Structure 1
Amino acid sequence: MRVALHSVLKEGQESGYEREHATVPADLLESLGRAGITNWRIWRSGRHLFHLVDCEDFAATMAALDEDPVNHRWQEFIGAYVDHFETTAGSPVEGSAQMALGEVWELRAQAAQAGGDAG
């Protein structure tokens, strides 16, 4: 599954956040892999970060990361840069999974329904 997230940086922390993500620690990469994440991409627009996370089960992945001391250290460290993650109000999913943004539209899905090919 692919999950989109939205976070907001603290004022003036844009370059520091990018610097810290130029190469994240190897133990964090291992931690993310153990939690089931196969890819994580981040885009930035001003102070707004947009994440795309690939994993099998987002709720289980977030639960695993909540228990991982490597992730705890990273979150404490990167918290100097990140103000907050947006949550989806009224989401039927509890806990960390409330961070997942609701998908509005996908070209490929619509094309498949129409019998076309979007690539």
Structure 2
Amino acid sequence: MARYIFLMNCKPGFEEEYKKRHKAVHPEMLKALKEVGISNYSIFMDGTKLYAYLEVDDFHRAMADLEKHPANRRWQKFMSDILEQENGGPKMTLIPEEVFHLD
């Protein structure tokens, strides 16, 4: 299982709303994440900066599958007013290279 980190940004002033929404993630969204093979998924917040960590065999395949999933489309629409957007979806920056890991 490969480990990935990506960065996103919450719109300024919506930090508490972001936290609130993630205390009640839609059950069908949680199921969709697992269906595409994502596990051990965490999001960390520092001000408006969001650092997401997840484990999945193939990040790009999982993201492509997730993009088509109806539950994800509903979740992305629900979150679109509080996340910085790019090309119709959340602006995500994948950190491509892991240089150290201690297990």
Task: Detail structure 1 runs of 4+ shifted over 2 Å in the superposition.
Answer: 84-87, 102-105
Match of 2:39 in 1: 38
Match of 1:59 in 2: 60
Identify which of 69, 78, 95 aligns with 1:101: 95
Give how far 1:107 is off: 4.7
Shift in CA distance, 23/104, structure 1 to aligned 2, threshold 3 Å:
same
Paired AA for residue 41 in structure 1: S
Match of 1:9 in 2: 10
Give TM-score scaled by structure 1 length. 0.75
Aligned residues: CA RMSD: 1.4
Match of 1:69 in 2: 70
The CA deviation string for residues 41-89 of structure 1, in whole angstroms up to 9 with x for no partner, is: 00001100000011111011001101101100000101111114243xx
Q: Distance in 2 between matches of 1:31 and 1:104?
A: 26
Match of 2:88 in 1: none
**Which one has a larger percent strand, Structure 1 or Structure 2?**
2
Give how far 1:104 is off: 5.3
Q: Distance in 1 between matches of 2:98 and 2:35?
A: 30
| Secondary structure of the corresponding residue to residue 84 of structure 2 | strand
Q: Unpaired runs of 5+ in structure 1? A: 88-99, 109-118
Give TM-score scaled by structure 2 length. 0.86
Greater relative contact order (Cα < 8 A, sep 6+): 2
**Which one has a larger percent helix, Structure 1 or Structure 2?**
1
Shift in CA distance, 56/14, structure 1 to aligned 2, threshold 3 Å:
same
Q: Distance in 2 between matches of 1:42 and 1:13?
A: 16
Q: Which is higher, the Rg of structure 1 or of structure 2? A: 1
Q: How many residues align?
A: 97
Give how far 1:23 is off: 2.2
